[in-house]
Amino acid sequence: MESSEFEDALDEWFIESLTAYKDLHVYQLEHPTQVIEWTSGKTVCVAGYGSSKNQLLELRLPLKLFAEENKGLCAERDFKLLHGGFSEGPVGCLRHVPASRLIVTNDGQGTDLQVWDLGGDDSDVIRRTGTVKGRESAPQRGSRIAASPSSSPQVLHGAESSSVQLTHLTSGQSLYKLETDTSDPLNSLQFTSDAVFLAGCSNGRIYMADTRVSAAPQMSPPPASSGQSAVWWTDATADPQQASCRVVRLSSSGHAVVSDLRKLGEAVCQAQLDIHCSSDNVTVSWAPRRNYISVSGFSGVVEIYDTCDWRMELRRVRPLFQHRGHEVSCRQADGCDPVCITAHVWHPERPQTLLSTATDGSVHVWDWVEPDSKGPESKSEPSL
Amino acid sequence: MTGAGQDVGRSCILVSIGGKNIMLDCGMHMGYNDDRRFPDFSYVTQNGRLTDFLDCVIISHFHLDHCGALPYMSEMVGYDGPIYMTHPTKAICPILLEDFRKITVDKKGETNFFTSQMIKDCMKKVVPLNLHQTVQVDDELEIKAYYAGHVLGAAMVYIKVGSESVVYTGDYNMTPDRHLGAAWIDKCRPDILISESTYATTIRDSKRCRERDFLKKVHESIERGGKVLIPVFALGRAQELCILLETFWERMNLKAPIYFSTGMTEKANHYYKLFITWTNQKIRKTFVQRNMFEFKHIKAFDRSYADNPGPMVVFATPGMLHAGQSLQIFKKWAGNEKNMVIMPGYCVQGTIGHKILNGQRKLEMEGRATLDVKLQVEYMSFSAHADAKGIMQLIRMAEPRNMLLVHGEAAKMEFLKGKIEQEFSIDCYMPANGETVTVKTNPSVPVDMSVNLLKREMALGGPLPDPKKPRSMHGTLIMKESSLKLVSSEQALKELGLNEHQLRFTCRVPLQDPHSDSETLHRIYTHLKSLLKGYTIQHLPDGTVMVESIVVKVSSSAEDANAKILLLSWSYQDEDLGSFLSSVLKKGLPKM
C-alpha cells in the first residue's frame, strides 16, 4: 500500500474514532504478547512469546482513563512500566493469583508452570520464585491455568482433560485431580465459583467438576455442528450469582452456542458468526455483567456481539461493534502475514473498556460508545 | 551529578574526561522557590568563580530545566569560558530566560535572581554549534552536535578527549513528529552514553491518539457554541496544531473561524528561517509546501474578535497565560462554561497557566479583582521524549561501552538496567544527585614499533596487524617526551649503552655408574640421543656432551669412582630444555 494511501486510511479511521470511542490509547510494545491478565483494577501483565528470552511486564493503565473529576487536568496518557522480568522461554499462558503479588505462567509447550513474584514498591524486578510440576510429559500443547478465587493460593492447571490438577502454590501439594475417561486437549480452564470449574476441550466437550468432591465430573458433549473437525473455545460468565451463569462455545466455523451452566447440553440461543479461518490465539469472552460476547483471534479485528439478538434458530448475525484499530494501524510489507489479534480482555469494572493486543506488538486501550446512543443508527448495523 | 540524578526537574551534569571538566546543561528546578532550584556549584569548586575549573559548558536545548540557571551560573557565581549550544537554542534561550525572569521577579517579587543585563552578558559567551560539525574547544577537547528531535534546536553532544569519549543526549525522542524528526547518531561507540530516562519506565501513547484527543475536545466545544483558547509559544507546537485543525476543518466541512494572534507571525517568521536551516530535508518539505501561516481556514486575529458571538478557536501567545494577548482573551472567556482553554505544555510556577492546571477556579488578578474560572481547562502533553523502547534504539545506534541513566528514579529502573546489561553486555549506572560515578575505560594506546622488531615478528608467521587475533610480543617500551616506541631488547640496551647480562644455570646431578667417566659420558650421549630426537646432540672431543647449547660434563668423586657427578650448564634462553634434561638425568641411566 502506498504511504499516502495508508496514512489516509489511518486518518479516516481516527476521524471516525472521534465519535465511535470515548477514550482511545494506542501503544507499541517492543515484542508482541499473547497474554493480558489483570493484576488489579488498574494494572495488567503482558509477556513475550518469542523462542528464546522474553520479557514479562506489569503495566499500569494511563491515569487519564481513570480520572473522573478534573479529567481534563490529567495529561497522563502513557502506560507506566511498574515491574519487569525475564523468562527463559515463551509465555503462552499467564494467570494472576488473586489477593497476592504472584503470577503463574506456562510456556505453551510443556506442562510445568513457573511461579513469579511481581514485587512491591521497593523494586521493579519480577522474580521467579518456583516451579509447579505438571502431570503430562509430552502434551500436544501447553497447559491452561486457572487461579482459584478462594483465599489460599491454588492453581488449576493441565494441558489435557485427563491431567488437570489443583496445586497449592506454597506447599506444592496436589489437592485435587480431574479423572476423565478420555484425554482431550484443553482450550480453557475456568472457575465459575470457589470450587466449581469448567474444563473446555478443543473438541467442544466441557467437563464440569467440583474440587472439593472426588466424584466423576459432568461431561457435556460438543454442540451439534456441521464441521466435525471444528475446534471449540469456551467462556463462562464470571457472575458470582450462580443462577445466571452462562456459557458460550464458539467453533472455528463460526457457530456460537449459549447455554446455561446448569443445563450445558441445551442451547439457550445460538448464532452464526462470520468467521472463516482457524487460529491458535482465539479469545471468546463475556463482557462482565452484560449480555455481550467479544471475539478475537481470526483477524486484526475485535468484534462485540449482543446475544440479546440471538435466537434458538441458527441465523447469521453481525457484530454490534468492531474495533478495527489494529488492522488499520498496521502497515504490513507486501507478502507478510496481515496483523492478527492475539488477546483481548474486558475491564472488570468499567463496562465499555477493553484492552487488545496483536501480532505486531500493538496494545490498544479503548472505551467504545454504544452505537444506539450515537443517534439514529440501529443496533443491528455495525458502526464501522 | 549536581542535578538530574533521580530527580525530575533540573539537569546539570559534570563530566571529567581525559583531564578536562565539562558542564552539561545548567537547568533550573521549577518546583522550588529557594536556592534548591539552582544546581549546587560547590561540587565544582568551593571558592567562587568556576572559570578555572571548567573547560566548557554545553547546553542541549532551550527548556528551562536545562538552561534556566545558566545566567545565574555565568554571572552570579562566575564563569567566563565558552558556552556551546546550537543556533536555534542561542536564539530562543534568551527569550525564555527573560520571560522566566519577568515572572519570577516582577510577579513573584523575588530578589536573589539574575537580571536582564545578566542574560545578555551570559549570551555573549555563547559559541553556536552546527549539526555534525566537529568543534575544537582546545588542543585536546573536541565536541560535535547531533540532531535530537524533541524541540527546535535540541542536540545530543559527542565529546572526545584523546581516545576517550562521552555522548550526552539531553532530551530526545526516537519517533518522528509532524514537525520534528527523530534523533539520530552514528556508531560513534562512546565510552559512556548519558541518557535522560524520565520516560524510561513508560510506554508512550501514540502521537495520533494525542492529536485525536485534541481534535475531540476542540470539536465538542465548537459544537456546543463555545470558544477555544490555545496559548502557545510562537513556533513548533503551534504550527503542528494549526496543520491538524486545518486538515480536520477541511474534512468535516466545519465553519467556525480559527485565528492566530498577530504576535505570532513576526516571531514565527524569524524562527521559521532558523528552523529551515536546522531541520532535515523531509521536514523542510512540509514547510516549503505550505507557506508559514498561509492557511485556508486560519486567519489573523484582531482583539475585537474576542467579543464576537459564536464558536471560534484562537491560538495566542504567550504560552503560559502570564501576560499579553493570551491572558487578555482568557480573562474575557473564563466566565463561560461552554468555553475551553487547552494548555499544550508545562507552565512555570507563578503563572495563571500553572494555577489553573492545578485546579484553581478562582484567580486573583491586578487590583484585587477575582476571576471565576468556569471554562473547561484541558492539559495536553505533546512533548516528545524517549520511552523504554526509544532508549534501547539509541543504544543500538551509538553502541556505547557503558550506559549512564539520569533524570529518573533508581528503584524503578532496575529492570531497564537489567535489560540493557543483558541485551548489550554493557554496564549501566544510575547515579543519584551529588553522587559521583567512575567508569573504567579501555583506552587504546598507540605505540610506534621498530622495523627490526616488526620484521622479527613477521618471520614468526601470519599477517600483521590482524585485528581479529591480537598477539603478544616481547620488547622494550621507550617513552621519550610524548612519544612511545617499542623496540627489541638488544636495541634498547644499545640505545641505553648497557651490556646485556648473561644468566647461566648450573645443576649437579649425582649418579651411580660403575664405568669410567668417559664411558659414563658416552652412555649419557646415547641415552639422550634416543630420547631427544630432533635436537642437536653432540659428543665433543673435549669431554663434554652438548644438547643444543647445554653443556653436560661428568666427574667422579675421589673416594668412590662409581659415584659420578653430572654437571649441567645452560643459559637463561634454554631454561626449559635445561630443566627437562636435569629431571631426565636425575632418573638415572638405562641398564646396559
- Would you write out chain B's pLDDT as a tens digit for each of its 592 residues? 344 333 346 789 999 998 999 999 999 887 777 777 888 888 888 878 999 999 999 999 998 889 999 999 999 999 999 999 999 899 989 988 988 888 888 767 777 889 999 999 999 999 999 989 999 999 999 999 999 988 889 999 999 998 899 999 999 999 887 667 789 999 999 999 999 888 888 999 998 899 999 999 999 999 999 999 999 876 667 877 888 898 899 989 999 999 988 666 666 666 766 667 666 555 556 555 555 556 788 888 998 999 999 999 999 988 888 888 899 999 999 999 999 999 988 888 788 999 999 999 999 888 888 999 999 999 998 878 888 889 999 999 999 999 999 877 777 788 999 999 999 999 999 888 778 888 888 777 778 888 888 888 777 766 666 666 777 777 888 888 878 888 888 888 888 888 888 888 999 999 888 888 888 899 999 999 888 888 889 898 888 999 888 999 998 888 887 888 999 999 888 888 888 998 988 888 887 6
* pLDDT tens per residue, range A125-153: 999 999 998 886 667 778 999 999 988 89
| Closest A-chain CA to B354 | A73
CB contact under 8 A, B422 and A86: yes
A to B CB pairs, distance under 8 Å: 102
Put simply, the answer to whether B387 touches A86 (Cβ < 8 Å) is no
Mapped onto helix, strand or coil, the DSSP state of residue B42 is helix
Sequence-ordered list of residues with C-beta below 8 angstroms from that of B470, at least 6 positions apart, any chain: none
Q: Which residues of A touch B210 (CB under 8 A)?
A: 77
**Distance (Å) from the alpha carbon of B65 to chain A's nearest alpha carbon:** 19
Number of Cβ within 10 Å of residue A55's Cβ equals: 23
Q: Where are the domains of chain A?
A: 1-28+229-384, 80-221
Residue A280 confidence (pLDDT) above 60: yes
The answer to whether B379 contacts A74, with C-beta atoms less than 8 Å apart, is: yes
The predicted structure's pLDDT at residue A378: 38
Say yes or no: domain A80-221 is CATH 3.40.50.300. Answer: no
Q: Is the pLDDT of residue A380 over 80?
A: no
Position A110 pLDDT exceeds 90: no
Continuous segment of H or E residues that includes residue A6: helix A3-20
Chain A residues in contact with B384 by the CB 8 A cut-off are none
Alpha carbon distance B78, A84 (integer Å): 45
> What confidence tens digit (pLDDT) does each residue in A301-351 have?
999 999 998 999 999 999 999 999 999 988 765 556 789 999 999 999 899
Residue B215: which of A18, A74, A126 has the nearest Cβ? A18
In the prediction, which pLDDT does B4 show? 37
Buried b or exposed e, range B136-157, using 16+ CB within 10 angstroms: ebeeebebbbbbbbbbbbbbbb
Cα nearest neighbour of B206 on chain A = A26
Q: Which residues pair with A206 in a beta bridge?
A: A200, A220
B399: left (phi > 0), else alpha (psi -120 to 50), else beta?
Answer: left
Residue A165 Cα, gap to closest chain B Cα (Å)? 34
Question: What's the pLDDT at B294?
Answer: 67
Q: Tell me the sheet residues that pair with A23.
A: A367
φ/ψ of B553, rounded to 5, equals -125, 155
Q: What is the pLDDT of residue B283?
A: 52
State the pLDDT confidence band at A228, using cuts at 50, 70 and 90: low
Q: Active-site residue numbers of B? A: 196
Asked if A83 reaches chain B (Cβ–Cβ under 8 Å), the answer is yes
pLDDT at B518: 87
| Interface test with chain B among A8, A45, A69, A79, by most B beta carbons within 10 Å | A79
pLDDT for res B180: 74
CB B58 within 8 A of CB B25: yes
Chain B residues with at least one Cβ partner in A under 8 Å: 199, 201-206, 208-213, 215-217, 219, 247-248, 251-252, 357-359, 376-381, 387-389, 392, 411-416, 418-419, 422
- Rounded CA-CA distance A101/B370 in Å is 50
Give the pLDDT score at A2.
56
Alpha-carbon span B93 to B86, nearest angstrom: 10
B-chain residues within 8 Å CB-CB of A88? none
Nearest CA in chain A to B375: A72
A116 part of contact set with chain B, CB < 8 Å: no
Q: Which of A78, A121, A124 sits opposite B205 (nearest CB)?
A: A78
